[in-house]
Each structure stands twice: as C-alpha cells, then as structure tokens.
Amino acid sequence: MFKKVLIANRGEIALRVIRACKELDIETVAVYSEADRECLHVRFAADDVCVGRPPARDSYLNIPRIIAAAEITGADAIHPGYGFLAENAEFANTVRASNIAFIGPTAEQIGQMGDKAAARKLAQKLKVPTVPGSPGPVESMEEGLKVAQKLGFPVIIKAAAGGGGKGMRVAPDTEQFAQAFGLAKQEALAAFGSDEVYIEKYLSRPRHIEIQIMGDMHGKLMHLCERDCSVQRRHQKLIEEAPSPAVDVTLREDIGDAAVRLAQAIGYVGAGTVEFLLDEDGSFYFMEMNTRIQVEHPVTEMCTNFDLVKEQIRVAAGEPLSFVMNGHRLRGHAIECRVNAEDPARNFQPSPGTITAYHPPGGPGVRVDTHIYAGYTVPPYYDSLLAKVIVHGNTRAEALARMRQALDSFIIEGVTTTIPFLGRVLRHPDFIAGTVDTMFLEREPQLLKNPA
C-alpha cells in the first residue's frame, strides 16, 4: 500500500480524499495556491506545499510544480480528484514517468476516452448502442449535410475532442445546417485546439443516465448502479440521484452490462463513469466516458455502501476489488444537491465572499461534503461549489423529504447560494414524480426567481 499520497486538488474533494487516506493509514500531502492558504485541505494534510499564484494555470494546473511537490515530500502516489488535471493524459504519464503512482487509469485509457469520436466508434464495435449518426468525423460541410439529410433533422454536431457540452450545436433544418456546422467547428477549435466534429440525430428530451464502474488490475470490473443527473443547467449538474426513477431492474442490467463491456474492452482500471442518454421510449445510447471520480459519486456510495475513493486508492496500489456487485445489493435511495455560491436569478452569476454564518444540516441519512466554515472567504478563482448535501432514505419519497428538510435548515450567510432554488426544484411536481429530462429547467424558468 502507498505510504504517502499527494492530493492534486482543493475544496471538498481534497478533504474527501484526505479522509480516505487517513482511514487507510496513509500520510497525506496538500498542494495549494496563494489564494488557498486558509483552506482546510492544507490544515488536515500532514504535509503541504504552495504551488503558485491563484489562477489555476499557475498552480493546480502546473504539472512541473505538482511533480516537484510530490518529490520534495516523498509522496509515492498522486490523487487528482476531479477537474484540474484529473483527465489530462500528459499529467498521468508524467506522474508515472517520475516513478509516482497515479491514482486513476493509464494515460492511454484517458486518451482513448478523451477522443469522443473514437470512443463512439469503440462503442459501436462492441454493440453498445450509440445515437444514429456519422460513422466517424465529418470532413466537410457537404459531407455533413448529406449525413444530416439521411438521418433526418434535427441533428446535433459535436466536437470530437469535446465533452461536457462544449463545441456542440443543434441544427434544426437544412437551411440552418451550414451555420451550425461552422459554429461547432469554430467553437471546437477554440476550446480544444481541434475542429474535428461528428454528427448525431438530435434527441429532444433525453434523460442523463450514467453508470459508475470500477475496475482493478486483475481483470475484475463491475458497475455500481446508475445515477440520474437530468437536472442540469448549461451542462452544470445541479441535482443527482441513485437509483434513477426511470430505470427498472431489467434496464439497469442492460445499461450496466453495456458500460462494463466498454470499460472492459480497454482494460480499464480505477473508478470511471459511462454516460448515456435515455430516450422517452426507453432506448439508451452511449455518450461518453469520464475517466475520473465525479462530483456526484456520493449518491452511489450511499446506496451501495461502497467507499469509492478508498477503493480507488486500493486498486491503484494493485489490490483486488474487495467485492463485485454489478448493480445488486442496492439499498434505498440517495439524492445529492450541489450548493453553489451563485445567484440563480442573475444567470447563476458567481457570488464569492466571506461566509459570515454557517450551520450544516444533520440527522439520520444526511451527509454534507464541504470545505467551507464560518469566516472562510470563497475566492473568485475556482468553481463555486460550496457544499454537497447528500441524503439517503429507504424510499425515494423519504429521501426527498429528508433533502427538503436538510436544505431548509442549512444556514450559509454572507454569500448568495443556490439553496432556495434547490428547494423549489424539490417541490416541483415533475421532480416529485421523477419525470424530469435534461430540458426541465429550460421549460421552467420561473424556478430561477425568488418569489416576491
């Protein structure tokens, strides 16, 4: 087992990884930017190294500084968390070339799934369903238009190097195809340095369903149920739950099996997520694979009783998975709400500042993953996640009631938060009925406003 793990991240996920290390009796190293001296990850880690100026590219994204921090402190492994360098193949490579273990998949596996058009091709080869579309990248506007006309409008044009919704354009008809195609290419080039795009038939009201998987170095790979992340805004997830109210045992087996086949085909090691769109008629389609631990991993932990971060560390050290569950042995229902320092009424504009009062919710089945405290100043440089409230109940109804109660008793003063907005979503009849899709908030803009 590792002796000392460096956590190449900040915020709540850094605390989450430190906790797992402590339970496994592993020493920890925090890295921090000049804006993060007062952060709890610095306090809770045994060792800490300042890696640069506040902007992420000068600190949390500075590969040579992070490697140097690991070498100076004698860390034998690095956990990247999510965001920052978590899906950077060059980083994974450099870490391993420096004789340090990377707690995650290989650089090759990160690269294979980072190319979305290639991942789609692999899925097709394995008979994992994909949305009807172009067989590979589309070279020219003329070729694209032919593909689109054959598929039938509307179509969606996606960046091959993309993911998370960037470089994506919908073309409603032939007339608007050229413009959408051009814009998608332009956006893709600006965001990813590659203007390669592919085309799919556009699904108008899909749900976002993702499968948590976990593989070890001994060829064992399992899935741990799905998460439903349909409540999103501009590709930012706001609420996640497991299991999905739209997935029954049979569908779970089918989607889970597809996810396991895909990950197994590349010998995947570590925690990963395979994303699908679920259509109104129950058809599911592979979207992309994320090769990291995700923000919403706690809902899976709550309904599987499985510590995903501890298991990530174990399998990276070469240990076999402690058991294989494949979506069985689920208990109850879990929901997560992301509490952000943002103002929903002002287009979710970030609201950094000092927390003047703080009291978290508690009680049975309530978990809060956070790095904030009274007196903490939320810096403007990073994402605005303040806390994740995760609840577990024996039924979805119990979990829902628990989440409403938890949010209503969560005190955060000094910054504007998304708590009142989340409370309104949890009381919306469509959310209660479990029927929301990814266009839900587009249809319900009044949820963004505080009632007078």
**Binding residues for ligand MV4 (CB under 6 A):** 131, 156, 164-165, 168, 200-203, 206, 208, 232, 235, 275, 277, 287-288, 438
Distance CA 76, CA 395 (A): 42
Nearer of residues 168 and 400 to ligand MV4, judged by Cβ: 168
For residue 292, indicate whether it is catalytic. Answer: yes
Distance CA 62, CA 54 (A): 11
Distance CA 224, CA 334 (A): 13
What's the min distance (Å) between Cβ of 165 and ligand MV4? 4
Nearer of residues 165 and 380 to ligand MV4, judged by Cβ: 165
The single residue listed with the structure tokens 């960037």 is: 166
For residue 102, the cross-strand partners are 78
What's the min distance (Å) between Cβ of 170 and ligand MV4? 8
Distance CA 109, CA 26 (A): 26
* Strands 27-33 and 47-52, bridge-based pairing: parallel
Q: Are 100 and 75 in contact (CB under 8 A)?
A: yes
Q: Which residue is nearest to ligand MV4 (CB)?
A: 438
State the sign of the Cα–Cα–Cα–Cα dihedral 117, 118, 120, 121. positive
What contacts 356, CB < 8 A, 6 or more positions away? 374, 375, 413, 414
Distance CA 398, CA 36 (A): 38
Distance CA 254, CA 251 (A): 5
What's the min distance (Å) between Cβ of 70 and ligand MV4? 32
What's the min distance (Å) between Cβ of 438 and ligand MV4? 4
What's the min distance (Å) between Cβ of 168 and ligand MV4? 6
What contacts 22, CB < 8 A, 6 or more positions away? 28
Torsion angle defined by CA atoms of residues 400, 401, 405 and 408, in that order, rounded to the nearest 10 degrees: 60
What contacts 175, CB < 8 A, 6 or more positions away? none
What's the min distance (Å) between Cβ of 270 and ligand MV4? 21
Nearer of residues 96 and 428 to ligand MV4, judged by Cβ: 428
Note the helical H segments in 152-209: 177-192
What's the min distance (Å) between Cβ of 395 and ligand MV4? 26
Residue 124's SS3 state is helix
Crossing angle for the helix pair 116-125 and 249-265, to the nearest 10 degrees = 110
Tokens encoding 399: 């979990």
Nearer of residues 135 and 363 to ligand MV4, judged by Cβ: 135
CA dist list (Å): 231 to 202, 206, 439: 19, 11, 8
Nearer of residues 138 and 287 to ligand MV4, judged by Cβ: 287
Q: Which of the residues 169, 292, 314, 338 is marked catalytic?
A: 292
Distance CA 391, CA 404 (A): 10
Radius of gyration of the chain (CA): 22
What's the min distance (Å) between Cβ of 140 and ligand MV4? 21
> Where in the sequence numbering do the catalytic residues fall?
292
